[in-house]
A and B are shown apart, each in its own frame.
Chain A
Amino acid sequence: MSTPVSDIDTHSARSVLGAHASRVQRAGSTLPFGDQRHLEAHQWLVDEAYLLDAQGYEAWLESLTDDIHYLMPVRVTTALGSGFDTSPGMAHFDEDKYSLSRRVARFLTEHAWTEDPPSRLRHHLSNVRTFATPDENHLIVESATLLFRNRGDVRESSFISAGREDLLRRSPSGSGWQLARRTIMVDESVMRMQNLAIFL
């Protein structure tokens, strides 16, 4: 189910701008669904989904660590056995706290036209499973997300389906968790959404 992996084995480590990202990896099998750590991780993701639906981006930014690496590779169709399925050296998001903070700041201006009127968003969350790490202050959580986005009254809605691997780190206060690393593996090579003025 899971094997020890070298620290280069994170998408962040292989990305162009992920050198600063934490290299903490999972250890062992999926935690039982009754495990307190899984319950906390799952709840964290559910709370985050509601926050993103409501475009509560300032609060969302606070739930990220200062060394966050937020990565969404560009998927490409390649022959079986070619050994890669993401576009080398290219991503949709390859973000640190600064670039995410600019994106959030832009939405808070009165002139981010693409979200005025705002989209109706629903982040559907499923398939959540949690892994311990060698360090009790970190958890790895995997999940599936399906974002439904609708703009205006009669425009066709759009979807993004993606799998995510998150690294959660215990908050400095000791209560609760923060997101330290996220990889979003989108399931389309050609996105069917007019822009990614959203977060996954």
Chain B
Amino acid sequence: MTDQSTVLADVRRGMIPAHIYNDQEIFALEKERIFGRAWVFVAHESEIARAGDYVVRRVLEDSFIVTRDESGEIRAHFNMCLHRGMQVCRAEMGNASHFRCPYHGWSYRNDGRIVGLPFHQDAYGGEAGFKRKGQRLLPAPSLDSHNGMIFISLDPDAPPLREYLGDFAFYLDYYTKQSPSGIELRGPQRWRVKANWKIGAENFAGDMYHTPQTHTSVVEIGLFREPKAEKRKDGATYWAGNGGGTTYKLPEGDLDERLRYVGYPQEMIERMKTSWSAEQRKVVGEDGFMISAASVFPNLSFVHNWPRVAESDDVLPFISVRQWQPISENETEVLSWFAVDAEAPEEFKALSYKAYLMCFGSTGMFEQDDVENWVSLTNTAAGSMARRLRLNSRMGILADDTEVAPALTGEQFAGPGSARVGYSEYNQRALLARWADHLERPITAAVARDIGGQDEVVPALEHLPSEDTAEVTGA
């Protein structure tokens, strides 16, 4: 494999070799060293609210059944039968107490334990030939959740998710904890775009600079009143822990007035006030910054905007959670969910959903123009000329690295991390610096295990349930 140390050094000084957005070797390295290690979002607990509910989600090529078992515990099973490697679940979602492989009929409880192995005695000689006891579908190496957001890491020694998120958790609450009940997630819409996965993540992390240009049309038609150039640059970007995002500067007012300005009804505001810390309230209420887009390394993004959804001056806020799932160096599957506070009034939920559909997702009027840019960029990055070009990603710093604008003080911005008003590429650099750190660090080879072998140590389970084929899904 080519030595990428020059590429990483260039990226770290904010000069981006253009080919990293369409490079097979870089992608191979990303697969191994980023997606083989980082915490990757797979689902929200509200998507699998009842016992037996499941969704099937991927971390690159690896398919996982993310399910709530009969005892209510959330699990993620590698979606591969222990016998011949078939996918045991071929649906995207549903409810099942068991999963049965359609190939030879092995079946598993939704907690992963093997429960049916046809002709175990006749064919294998029972436990002496194949140790069935304690066998279960391979669990995700690491599984953790925060505010109901479920993540997987393929690294069994991954740090706790909360530690990985770091101070970004402060900002995550604005999207996912507007009340004690948190969010409910709907969707996702899924579609594939011929664009490199990093472009969306960088854009959502900090690109306020593109808004007035790319999204001119949505202002012209009266959908959105904010992204005029002179407004957008008054916002702040922040980077904290393993993520960062953008904000809008709101007109004068207190917390209630500012939350009303973006369209929240008073009863939701009351719940936000009790769910958020004093510092979280101060960022909006006193500092006057309202969160907009954000990204968590590597490929999870959020957006919060407040368009008009009817022939009226009123605006309605919505939240979207989205993932840039890499398919190859030049293709990404976008998974775009609509999120809304679970305690919000039903009418608010419906209109917020309408706001989401009009702005983001597969049909969203903001998103339509973004993707066109990203596909075009990826396409152009494939050739040999792109290897002669290092894109300047140094906005916000001078040639000698001094800052164009100083970081905000704690008085000006109560949130953790580092925040600045105006256009800059601090966040894109922070995201790509993590990218470089991951690519640089070799990965520990994963440990493989035998299935059903005799010298294998398996933890004793309390009892082995008898064969049970009720509610089995072979899908």
Contact = CB atoms under 8 A, between A and B. Distances in A.
A104 to B, nearest CB: 9
A197 B357 CA distance: 12
Given A91-B357, A194-B193, A77 B91 contact: yes
Given A90-B187, A109-B217, A113-B214, A76 B333 contact: no
B373 A113 contact: yes
Contacts of A90: 186-189, 338
Interface string A142-160: 0000000000000110000
Nearest to B372: A114
Interface stretch (B118-126, B275-283, B363-371, B403-411): B363-371
B107 to A, nearest CB: 14
A78 B369 contact: no
Contact of B354 (A92, A94, A109, A192): A94
Contacts of B369: 112-114
B357 A94 contact: yes
A109 B218 CA distance: 9
A173 interface: no
B372 A87 contact: no
Interface string A27-65: 000000000000000000000000000000000000000
B142 interface: no
A195 B189 contact: no
Contacts of B91: 76-79, 82
A117 B310 CA distance: 29
Contacts of A191: 189-192, 362
A89 B185 CA distance: 10
Contact of B94 (A16, A82, A103, A114): A82
Contacts of B189: 74, 87, 90, 92, 191
A91 B336 CA distance: 11
Nearest to B351: A17
B353 A155 contact: no
B372 A77 contact: no
B86 interface: no
Interface string A67-109: 0000010101111101000011111111100110011011001
A139 to B, nearest CB: 27
B375 interface: yes
Contacts of B140: none
Interface string B245-263: 0000000000000000000
Contacts of A189: 92, 190
Given A16-B350, A79-B94, A82-B94, A112 B192 contact: no
A89 B353 CA distance: 9
Interface residues on B, range: 35 or more
Interface in A143-200: 155-156, 189-197
B421 interface: no
A121 B193 CA distance: 18
A78 B194 contact: no
Contacts of A98: 309-311
A102 to B, nearest CB: 5
B303 interface: no
Say what secondary structure dominates the interface of chain B.
Answer: mixed
Contact of B186 (A17, A89, A95, A106): A89
Nearest to B353: A16
Contact of B362 (A82, A112, A195): A195
A72 B333 CA distance: 20
Interface string B327-356: 000000100001000000000001001100
B176 to A, nearest CB: 18
Contacts of B193: 194-195
B4 interface: no
A95 B90 CA distance: 31
A14 B218 CA distance: 29
B77 to A, nearest CB: 16
Contacts of B223: 102, 106
Given A79-B473, A94-B354, A197 B368 contact: yes
Contact of A190 (B218, B333, B473): B333
Contacts of B218: 106
A72 B222 CA distance: 24
Interface string B189-215: 111111100000000000000000010
Contacts of A72: 363
Contact of A78 (B92, B310, B474): B92
A76 B195 CA distance: 24
A109 B367 CA distance: 16
B375 A194 contact: yes
Interface string A11-35: 0000011000000000000000000
B284 interface: no
Interface string A96-137: 001100110110010111100000000000000000000000
A92 B362 contact: yes
B475 interface: yes
A76 B92 contact: yes
B192 to A, nearest CB: 6
A103 B358 CA distance: 8
Contacts of B363: 72, 92-93, 103, 195-197
A68 B309 CA distance: 16
Contact of A195 (B92, B214, B372): B372
B214 A155 contact: no
Contacts of B186: 87-90
8 contacts: A16-B353, A17-B354, A74-B187, A79-B475, A87-B187, A92-B362, A93-B357, A194-B194
Interface of B: 90-96, 186-195, 214, 216-218, 220-223, 309-311, 333, 338, 350, 353-354, 357-358, 361-363, 365, 367-369, 371-373, 375, 379, 473-475
* The 4 nearest A-B residue pairs measured at CB: A79-B475, A191-B191, A111-B216, A114-B372
